[in-house]
Amino acid sequence: MLTIVASVIIFGLLVFFHELGHYAVAKKAGIGVIEFAIGFGPRIFTWEKGETIYSLRIFPLGGFVRLTGEDPGESDEEGSFQKQPVWKRFAVIACGPLMNILLSVLLFSLLYFAFLGVPAYDSTAIGKMLPEGVAEKAGLQSGDRILSIAGEEVNSWPEVVAVIHAHPQEEIEIVFVRGNDTHRIKVTPVRDPQSGNGLIGIQAETKLYSFLGAARLGFEHTFWLLRYIAVSLVQMVTGRVAPDLVGPVGIIQIVGEVAKTGIMNLIQLAAIISLNLGFLNLLPIPALDGSRLLFLLIEGVRGKPIDPQKESFVHFIGFTILILLMIVIAYRDLMRLDIFF
């Protein structure tokens, strides 16, 4: 059940942002939007406002925005997509995958803003503690502020670490403040078998990033990962690494496994999937947004559109190949799950 719920939420969020990109720019450009749909198949919920029908459909793994005049036969209607200049049509198509990339930035930023932090090295307050560690057994607690260790005054976390490291297997006194009271305890740091340093099982207090700091790190993390995806794709295409593709079935399995590890890892996975979706949709693969963008670029260079029937045929062939590829990948995913007799 957890797998189903997590998968529906993640896929729904990714599809919503993707289609929202198409929808918002189309509205801004004065293009009519006939329907904004999340999912495929029969409608289970509809809401109509103005010229647009908003619908939720039974199969949540997809969605679409149907624009007025998007089909060549509707090109004469008012607010037609086909009547717009190339740059407007380009923006409408491009903003779908770009919104997925933006979603990745937002999700990574959320992780830094609400979950991840940086050690407060200018403080001597204890953050996390090792369960059943020396410090916990001696009575120290998270939030205690250390004043001195082994008779040495400490004013920063690096000083705390340095003094503890210097006394492996030696009983030392720690003076600390809890609330408004000062306390003293004695502990014996254990010796780290690799470094030989003394350890008592405490970590520095962490502070969450500011909104702007989290946004900057989210942006940097997204575009570092984007470069990694691009390099990996080039290596697969050139045969330097073996292709390792996962389809919807495999992704759902991964989502289920990650959901069990906590919300933070699930948010990170959603950001990675969204980034992959946005990147792949920008590639000039027939039936994907990138292919439509390529045809618009050619139209802009030529000064006239390519024959709509020829373009539709290319998209049809690409869509057919894409569906066959997805079937093969889904079969491989099911084989990995070992569900066949």
CA dihedral defined by 150, 151, 152, 157, rounded to 10 degrees?
50
| Domain closes at, from 184, 208, 232 | 208
For residue 185, the 8-state DSSP code is E
Asked if 314 and 172 sit in the same domain, the reply is no
Asked if 54 and 184 sit in the same domain, the reply is no
Cβ–Cβ < 8 Å for 54, 46: yes
Asked if 80 and 216 sit in the same domain, the reply is yes
Buried b / exposed e over 197-207, threshold 16 CB at 10 Å, is: bbbbbbebbee
Domain around 38:
2-116+210-337
Cβ contacts of residue 133 below 8 Å, gap of 6+? Answer: 200, 201, 202
> In the prediction, which pLDDT does 332 show?
66
Asked if 174 and 260 sit in the same domain, the reply is no
Asked if 135 and 107 sit in the same domain, the reply is no
> In the prediction, which pLDDT does 335 show?
65
Cβ–Cβ < 8 Å for 200, 133: yes
* Model confidence, pTM: 0.77
Q: How buried is 64 (Cβ within 10 angstroms: 0-12 exposed, 13-18 middle, 19+ buried)?
A: middle
> Averaged in consecutive runs of 10 residues, what is the pLDDT profile of the chain (341 residues)?
83 93 94 92 91 90 87 68 91 96 95 85 92 93 95 95 95 95 95 92 89 91 90 80 67 80 89 92 89 92 83 78 69 57 43
> In the prediction, which pLDDT does 330 show?
64
> In the prediction, which pLDDT does 195 show?
87
> In the prediction, which pLDDT does 127 show?
92
Asked if 282 and 264 sit in the same domain, the reply is yes
Asked if 189 and 233 sit in the same domain, the reply is no
> In the prediction, which pLDDT does 337 show?
56
Asked if 219 and 96 sit in the same domain, the reply is yes
Region class of 326: left (phi > 0), else alpha (psi between -120 and 50), else beta: alpha
Asked if 131 and 204 sit in the same domain, the reply is yes
Cβ–Cβ < 8 Å for 69, 88: no
Whole-angstrom Cα Rg for the chain: 28
> In the prediction, which pLDDT does 76 show?
63
Distance, CA of 36 to CA of 67 (rounded, Å) = 9
Asked if 215 and 323 sit in the same domain, the reply is yes
- Which of the residues are catalytic? 19
Distance, CA of 49 to CA of 43 (rounded, Å) = 16
| Domain closes at, from 178, 208, 238 | 208
Asked if 13 and 106 sit in the same domain, the reply is yes
Q: Number of folded domains in the chain?
A: 2
Asked if 31 and 50 sit in the same domain, the reply is yes
| Domain closes at, from 208, 230, 259 | 208
CA angle 185, 191, 196 (to 5 degrees): 130
CATH classification of the domain holding 185: 2.30.42.10
